[in-house]
Amino acid sequence: MIGGQAADSQPPSASASCSSSSSSSPSGPAAGGGLRIHRSKRRPDILNMLMTAACLSSSSSDTGKGQSKLSSNKVTHGFHLVEGRSGHDMEDYHVAEYRYENDHELGLFAIYDGHLGDSVASYLKANLFNNILKEPLFWSDPQESIKNAYSSTNKYILENSKQLGPGGSTAVTAIVVDGKDMWIANIGDSRAVVCERGTANQLTVDHEPHTTNERKRIEKQGGFVSTFPVADR
């Protein structure tokens, strides 16, 4: 999670999708430090990219869709947001938009699952993609640039916790370049999924504290993992 370490007992839930006539499959190594980055080459036999997590405002639901305009490989996307039964306002945000940067069309898709308030998730929506694209080596080394931007953004949030509050947020981001290449990164348990021939395949690794590797990483950095009882939902 980016920012604070607290978690809600029942966060809202939502889903988003991105699809086109030619889609993507995962390849490439993952970045260290809990952040996972995947590069995907688009393949015609994959029809949809699905990303599952919570989103947006305090409304009970929201739906939208869009399509790329400049790339030869047309990419369409849709999203549907549903607020959970947690007893508090929606704390989560999403991004689904297209930009034209450096003679390339970029599809930017993200879900930020906020905890203990929406301030960190809101900050990520406004700043994380900008931080990634401002990295000087983004076009030559996107994997390292995404990793650096996640790290610097997390550092800023921690250093400004008085203004942003004690909460935090998960993050999953996808950058589609000219409808051909897709770079995916995540922190926390927000995930990216592709649907290939009717089968859902998870692209990212959930960072759950009860798993051996994640627990070791937390403890190595001086943290600890505790288990608390959760009331029936």
62-101, pLDDT tens digit by residue? 777 787 777 777 778 787 777 766 666 777 888 999 999 9
Within 13 Å of residue 88, how many CA atoms lie on the same side as its CB? 11
- In this predicted model, which residue has the larger pLDDT, 133 or 28? 133
Q: What is the pLDDT of residues 100-123, one digit of tens each?
A: 999 999 999 999 988 888 899 999
Q: What percent of the chain has a predicted confidence (pLDDT) above 90?
A: 33
Confirm whether 67 is domain-assigned.
Answer: yes
Confirm whether 108 is domain-assigned.
Answer: yes
Confirm whether 228 is domain-assigned.
Answer: no
Confirm whether 1 is domain-assigned.
Answer: no
Residue 233's pLDDT is 42
Q: Which amino acid is at 84?
A: G
Confirm whether 158 is domain-assigned.
Answer: yes
Supply the DSSP string of 159-211, one letter for each residue.
Answer: HTHHHH-S-EE-EEEEEEETTTEEEEEEESS-EEEEEETTEEEE-S----TTS
Confirm whether 226 is domain-assigned.
Answer: no
Tally of structural domains, the chain: 1
Q: Which amino acid is at 148?
A: N
| Segments forming the whole domain that contains residue 152 | 12-220
pLDDT confidence bin for 130, thresholds 50/70/90? very high
Confirm whether 24 is domain-assigned.
Answer: yes
Claim: this prediction has a pTM higher than 0.85: no
Cα(91)–Cα(121) distance, integer angstroms: 7
Confirm whether 54 is domain-assigned.
Answer: yes
Cα(194)–Cα(201) distance, integer angstroms: 5
Kindly report the CATH number assigned to the domain that includes residue 206. Answer: 3.60.40.10
